[in-house]
A = this chain, B = another copy of it.
Amino acid sequence: MKVTIKDIAKATGFSVTQVSRALTGYSDVSPKTRENIIKVAKEMGYQPNYSARSLRRQRTHTIGLVIPSTRLALTDPFFLEFLSGIGYESSKTRYDLLISFSNNKNGQMKILKDLVLSRRVDGIILNRIENEDKRVSFLLEKKYPFVAFGKIESDGDHPYVEIDGFDATYQVTNHLIKKGHKKISFINVPEWQVCAKYRLAGYKKALEDYNIQFDDELVINNEETDSAGYSIVNEILKKNKHVTAFFVNSDVMAIGAVKALNEAKIEIGKEIALAALNDTNITQNMNPPITSLAQPIHLIGEKVTQMLIKILNNKDFKLKQVIIKPKLIIRESTSNMILN
């Protein structure tokens, strides 16, 4: 029982053209006609066919997002706040969000290519930017609109929103050092992520500022999962390097770190300090609550979307980069423990 523009044309006696123009707000339709057409359209429950409109207009009014269908992304509250921000903003302008899940068989690149070449979406949102990210170079080559969450290091002036990774780790490390810590184990995100090197740099700089020797063995890169956090903390403990503080680069990792420390009967906040990065409800609600770095991630999702939509509606939109400074939230896991 789908009702098309033709049905309305027939019902009102006007041409298909006039109906279309009346409904989309052209000026060359008499007020009376427009009123009549709108009334009838409403009565008949007309809604323009999405595919037809997209085909003709050459725009789908949809934003694309490719995410791996592993549990990694979809159980990290950090990512979800981001997604929520995207949703919040896109719903404002009635853009829809198309989520394509990649899997083993169809990797991110394949899905992305399909999305772009089949013109299924008007623009793309990227996250977790890699060094020499292939997705970025593909989109640049195709001149396809996109905005990234994470710094892009390709040549040129591309739009992204970034959290200042150097500043983030500097703040935390600095805080820990001020509490008297010298042996701080730094558990970083995987090296292929662009932000990994900036985060490492911030950590190193803080040590340097206080003349603390950098120890290679205290730094480990791994995926942001709880199991990674668990095994790494165990590994470091086994090395017996007299570490007094752990700084994990994701809240999800903190879950595993806490578990490992609990099992080792090392009391967090008293015998060892623990800081994380992301400040989701994970670190907020742990026992003890864990020092973390607040990032306005919902807002970042909104911002990224807003930028993309602006680009979609205005080819000449001046591409901008946004850099956000995170805010240190000090909690019991580091605040009460003071070394000398």
Contact = CB atoms under 8 A, between A and B. Distances in A.
Interface of A: 1-2, 45-52, 54-55, 60, 62, 67, 69, 71, 74-75, 77, 80-81, 83-84, 87-88, 90-92, 94, 96-103, 106, 113-114, 117-120, 142-143, 226, 255, 258-259, 262, 281-282, 285-287, 298
Find the residue from A62, A69, A114 having the highest chain B CB count within 10 A: A69
Contacts of A90: 101
A118 B84 contact: no
B84 A255 contact: no
A276 to B, nearest CB: 13
Given A45-B117, A75-B84, A87-B101, A55 B62 contact: no
Given A2-B117, A226-B285, 11 more contacts: A51-B52, A62-B98, A71-B298, A74-B81, A75-B77, A87-B101, A91-B106, A96-B99, A96-B100, A99-B99, A286-B287
24 contacts: A1-B143, A46-B117, A47-B113, A47-B118, A49-B55, A49-B118, A49-B119, A50-B60, A51-B52, A51-B54, A51-B55, A51-B60, A55-B55, A69-B87, A71-B84, A74-B80, A74-B87, A91-B102, A91-B103, A96-B120, A97-B99, A98-B99, A226-B285, A255-B285
Nearest to A116: B47
Nearest to A64: B96
Contacts of A52: 51, 55
A249 B2 CA distance: 42
Contacts of A120: 50, 96
A74 B99 CA distance: 15
Of residues A94, A101, A113, A117, which shows the largest number of chain B Cβ atoms within 10 Å of its Cβ?
A101
Contacts of A114: 47
Contact of A285 (B48, B81, B142, B259): B259
Q: Which 9 A-B pairs have the closest CB atoms?
A: A47-B117, A87-B101, A287-B287, A91-B101, A51-B54, A74-B84, A51-B55, A50-B118, A50-B120
Given A49-B55, A55-B49, A98 B97 contact: yes
Contacts of A88: 69, 101, 103
A12 to B, nearest CB: 19
A120 B298 CA distance: 27
